[in-house]
Structure 1
Amino acid sequence: MTDLHGGPRFFGLERKYMSTAQILDLLEEILAAGSRAILKAMPRGPLDKFDLAVFERAVSTGDAVRLLLSNDHWETASAAVRQLFELCVHMEHIETYPNRAAAVARFSEYGDLQQLLGAQRELQHSHYKGQSASIQDATTIEMALAHPHKSQFLRTSKDGKRTHWAQSWCDKNLKELCVVSERKLRMMNYEILYSAWSEQVHGTPGSLYERIRFHLSPQPLDYYQALETDRVNGIGTMAVTMLLELWERLPGSPPGYEAERHLWATRLTDIGTLHAIDLGSLAQRHT
């Protein structure tokens, strides 16, 4: 067999292409089922509504990953997968609180704080550019920030002279949450997303290196194709795994598809085995 450039096709790469199509098909199937489940969802109380909102965001983000990977934009897709990863980490940490309702309330209150601080910065930016800023809006934001519920997130500097807002809703950063996670692969995934692939999110020189080298010192086409395919497979696998985790983890996530979810996880593992693809054990949902 030959490739589009007339050379011999790299058989291992052909198998990886097959796995890519299967991973993307699986991702699309899960997202379609998730969308149908959302439309049928009937949340009964605040906690169910919270879980539904998280699940909706996960499905929306997963769809962005699918669209990007379908066009081989794995670099940009890695940023969206970070969102799925952080949702998984935060939802897992919420489970460690003896009172889930209180943890959800704290999480949501911090979300409101972030929105207010963002709006405040936008007003400051408008003022800096010489644009008119609404005094009423600024006053409303200041009053909201002064609400007693927000005081739980005020922190004092070590010298006791300044106050500042907490950097997270639970006083732990993402890495610290991964360290205390019950999931064995949490730190591995963190290192991949926030170290190995971090330059792709931030647009550092490392994100351009392969393209620069392609023009300065070209490698065989199969080299670049294999590299791109490995990344697409890895990110697609992460997206599938995290969507399934959230669906299973959230008590108020849309019901149904229990049997399908088990089959989807099995299929993901089978894809890696059938095509000899190293998925980094990311498909192991219960490790």
Structure 2
Amino acid sequence: MSRLAIAAFWLLHWLPLSVLSRIGQAFGLLLYVFVVPRRKVALTNLRLCFPELSEAERRALARRHFAVTGRSMLERGLAWWASPERLRKLVRIEGLERLNALKAAGRPVILLTPHFVGLDMAGTRLSMEGDFVSVYARQKNKVFDRWLHHGRSRFNDQLLLSRSDGVRSTVKAMKAGRPLYYLPDLDYGRRESIFVPFFGVPAATITGLPRLARLAGAAVVPSIARVLPGGAGYVLELGEPWADYPSDDVEADTLRMNRWLEGVVRTMPEQYYWVHRRFKTRPKGEPRFY
């Protein structure tokens, strides 16, 4: 079954993006109907984060989320097989000069990349611009693991580390000139996490961003992947480096990250990764949400 899915991805990647995007949206809506556990997770997250919306509004937002998620899933074949020329046309990078200036100055860089659904396509496109380091979570399905790894490493000399490789390897890579494509906004459990609010709800959040920035002397550059409507493709926005970061207060620095992320999510709420159980880990004594 996995190989049939990969074959379907390969066939679909030849289609114009305007056609492929519509197929992907329809696929996502089917997922909304039939993948009930993930639909429930998404609706729970939206209820917690957007209590001001009505139930009907949250369900409509969830449907839009599944539609754009389905699109990003089927368009992943573009990251795996599309030519460099096509990828450059499909994914526009804004602010690349900021990253290049930091690299030219010899400054280590952390690209703070939240879990928006376009991040894999953006990451593949960015890898065409040089050598990066990222943390790769091995997938249980070996077929999909192979192709996901391929998509992230097909251009230049990418370094994919596992979480078990530790902080030292990551800092060493950054100091050697590899920007870190860093995704620290999921629930990774209690280890190395503290509870800080995310949309007003205490959320277990790893403190890796301020710790890595301090250890490597790295600049933190916001990196936001947006899926554009229809056949318009994607855009990766590299923002201005954060000023006065990190501070001497790890909790305040971690809260700053979450508050910044809230602001970005509100600009495209349907594109955030709501099917993840973001509030799975609870403070002691609090009931579970899922």
Sort the TM-score into its range (normalised by shorter chain): under 0.3
Which has the higher relative contact order, 1 or 2, with Cα contacts under 8 A spaced 6 or more apart?
1
Greater Rg by CA: 1
Greater fraction strand: 2
In the superposition, the TM-score normalised over structure 2's length comes to 0.26
Greater fraction helix: 1
In the superposition, the TM-score normalised over structure 1's length comes to 0.26
